[in-house]
Chain A
Amino acid sequence: MESVKITNGKSPILQLKAVSGSYSPGSYAVNRVTTDIYANTITAIMGPSGCGKSTLLRAINRMHDLYPHIKTTGEIILKGKNVLAMDPMEVRRMAGMVFQQPNPFPTMSIYDNVLAGYKLNDIRLKKREKDDIVEQSLQSVGLWDEVKEVMTKRGSFLSGGQQQRLCIARALALNPEILLMDEPTSALDPISTNKIEELLLQLKEEFTIIIVTHNMSQAARISDNSMFMYLGELVEHENTTQMFTKPQNKRTEEYLTGVFG
C-alpha cells in the first residue's frame, strides 16, 4: 500500500504511520494506514460499512485499549507526541470524541454534563471557572441561549439534536487538540443534522475535526479533505472537491457513483 499524502505547506497536527487495527490475530480491520491531517480542517472518513473507518478513528484516542482483544500497531503522532506510547487517559483528554448515539450522562444536570470532563478527571474548579467554561462551551455549540434557563435539568431532557450538541460542548470544554466524530448525525433528524453541520464549519476555525460518515453528501458539504477507505485500507485521501469531481482511484469512483456501498 503506497502512502497517500496531501500537503499544503503547513506541518500536520496528526500523522498516521502504518497504523493497523486488529480484532483477532492475523486479520486486520485497519491495514497499514499512513497519512497526515492538518490543523483547522475537517477531514471526512468515508467508506462502506465494515471498511474500518470507525476502527481507525477510535485508534486515534486509544479507545481500543478498553477492549483487550483489539490490537493497534504503527505510529500515531498527535502534536509531535506518539499517542500509542502515551498514557491512554492523557490521549483521550487531548482528543475529544463525539459518538453516534448522543450520550449525555443521565445522572448529571446539563451544567454538570458540560463539566463532566473535569469532574471525571477529579479536578476541582472554582465556581467562576466553572461558569466560564460552561458558558463558553455552550456558546460554541449554539446551545447557550436554548438551555441557560434549564441548567439544572438532566441532560436527557433535551432533544436528540440538543443532546448531541451538549456532547460536543462536553468535549470542547476540555479544549482538545483534535475532535473525533463517529457518525455524529446518523441518529438525528435532518434539521438537527443541518445545525450540527453548520456548527462544525464554525468550529474548524478553532479546532481540527475528523468525522466518520457514511453519508457522502455530508462529506461533500462540510469537509475540506476526504479519506476513502475500503477493506481496511486507505484508498484515497484527497481534497474533497478534487475527490468528488476527479477521483484518482477506480474504487473511490465506484463508491461515489453508487456502484457499491
Chain B
Amino acid sequence: MNYPKITYTGWRKGKDKTAFVLVCLFSLITMFPLFFILWDVVSKGYKNFNLRLFTEVTPSSMDAMLARMNGEPIPGGILNGITGTVLIVGMAIIFSVFLGLFIGIYLADNRGKRFAGVVSYLTDLLQGMPSIVIGIITYAWIVKPLSGYSALAGSVALTIMMLPMIVRSTEETLKMLPVAYKEAGLALGSSYTNVVFRILIPSGFGGIFTGILLAVSRVMGETAPLMITALGASVVNWKVMEPTSAIPLLIWDFYNDPNLVELIWSSSLLLLIVIFLLNWIAKIVARKWKV
C-alpha cells in the first residue's frame, strides 16, 4: 500500500510562527486601552486631586463659572458623592452579604435538587440582567410607591446586582471544600449549624470574602441604575429616604455641566483608585486564604 507523503514545508512552519506572533500581538494590543485610560485619568485628574476634593461639597454651577472666569480653581469637591457612595454601597453590602451567603450555602448543600436548580438558574439570570433594567425595577418598586428618589432605592438596586455575585462565589468556594470537612464535623456530633459557622465558613473565608470585595468593586462605579433611583444631591446626605449623590453620579453631572467639567477626571481618578484597591485586596485575600 502506498501512503501519501507528508512534507514539512516552510509554509506550515511559517503559518505556525505567524499564528504565534499574531496571538502575542493581539494580546498586547488588548492591554493598551487600560494604559491609555489610566494615562488619561491620571494626567488630567491629578491637578484637582487635592484635599478639597474630599472635604467640600460640589459647588454650584454659577460659583464654578465665576471661579473659571477669574482663573481660580473650582471651589469645591465631591464630599457629597463620597458620603453618598459610602451610604448607598454600605447599605447594599448589609442587605446582600448575609442573604447572599445563605443562598450560596443553600445551593452548595442542595445540589441536584429541583428547587435549587431553579434558584441557581434564576441567579444566573439576575447576574446577566442589564443594570439599567435593575434601575427600572427599583424605580417601580420603591421610588414610585414611596413617591421619591432615595438612597434606599439606590442601595436596593445595587443589592440586586451584588446578590448573584456573592451567591455564586460562596457556592463555588463551598463546593471546593473537601466533603471530609463537613463529614468530620458531623461525625463528631456537631450540629449542622455549627459545622456551617465553625468549619465551612471559616475554611472558605478567603473565597467568600474575595467574592464580596469584587462585588463591591463592581457596583462602586455603577451609574445608570443610580440615576433613576438615588437621583443625586448637591449636599451631604445621610438620610436613607432622601435623594443622595454618589461619585459616579457626580461624574455624570460634571460631564453634562461645562462649568464643572474639570472635576470629572479627579473624581474618576478617585473612583479608579478605590476600585483597583478593592481588586488588589481581593487578590491578596484570595492568595492568602486559598482553599
Note whether A and B contact each other (Cβ less than 8 A): yes
Which residues does A use to contact B, with CB under 8 Å? 87, 89-90, 93, 117-118, 121-123, 125, 129, 132-133, 136, 174-175
- In contact, B1 and A123 (Cβ under 8 angstroms): no
B8 in contact (CB, < 8 A): yes
Option from B1, B3, B4, B8 in Cβ contact (under 8 Å) with A89: B8
Q: Which residue of B lies closest to A124 (CB)?
A: B4
Distance from A97 Cβ to chain B, minimum over Cβ atoms (Å)? 16
Contact status B3-A121, CB under 8 Å:
no
Partner of A129, one of B4, B6, B8, B12: B4
CB distance B1 to A118 under 8 Å? no
Chain B's nearest CB lies how many Å from the CB of A256?
40
Please report B residues at the A interface, Cβ cutoff 8 Å: 1, 3-4, 6, 8, 12-13
B6→A87 contact, CB < 8 A:
no
Residue of A117, A122, A132, A136 near B12 (CB, 8 A) is A122
Chain A interface, DSSP helix/strand/loop, else mixed: helix
Chain B residues contacting A136 (CB-CB under 8 Å) are 1
Residues of chain A within 8 A (CB-CB) of B3 are 133, 174-175
Which residues of B are found within 8 Å of A117, using beta-carbon distances?
A: 6
Residue pair B8, A90 in contact (C-beta under 8 Å): yes
Which of B1, B6, B8, B13 touches A132 (beta carbons < 8 Å)? B1
Q: Are the CB atoms of A118 and B8 closer together than 8 Å?
A: no
Nearest CB to that of A122 among chain B residues?
B12
User: With a CB–CB cut-off of 8 A, which chain B residues contact A132?
Assistant: 1
Task: Name the residue on B nearest A120 (C-beta).
Answer: B6
Q: Can you list 22 A-B contacts (CB < 8 A)?
A: A87-B8, A87-B13, A89-B8, A90-B8, A93-B6, A117-B6, A118-B4, A118-B6, A121-B6, A121-B12, A122-B12, A123-B4, A123-B6, A125-B4, A129-B4, A132-B1, A133-B1, A133-B3, A136-B1, A174-B3, A174-B6, A175-B3
Most buried by A among B1, B6, B12: B6
Q: Which B residues touch A129, using CB under 8 A?
A: 4
Residues of B within 8 A of A174 (CB): 3, 6
Given contacts A89-B8, A93-B6, A129-B4, 19 further A-B contacts (CB under 8 A): A87-B8, A87-B13, A90-B8, A117-B6, A118-B4, A118-B6, A121-B6, A121-B12, A122-B12, A123-B4, A123-B6, A125-B4, A132-B1, A133-B1, A133-B3, A136-B1, A174-B3, A174-B6, A175-B3
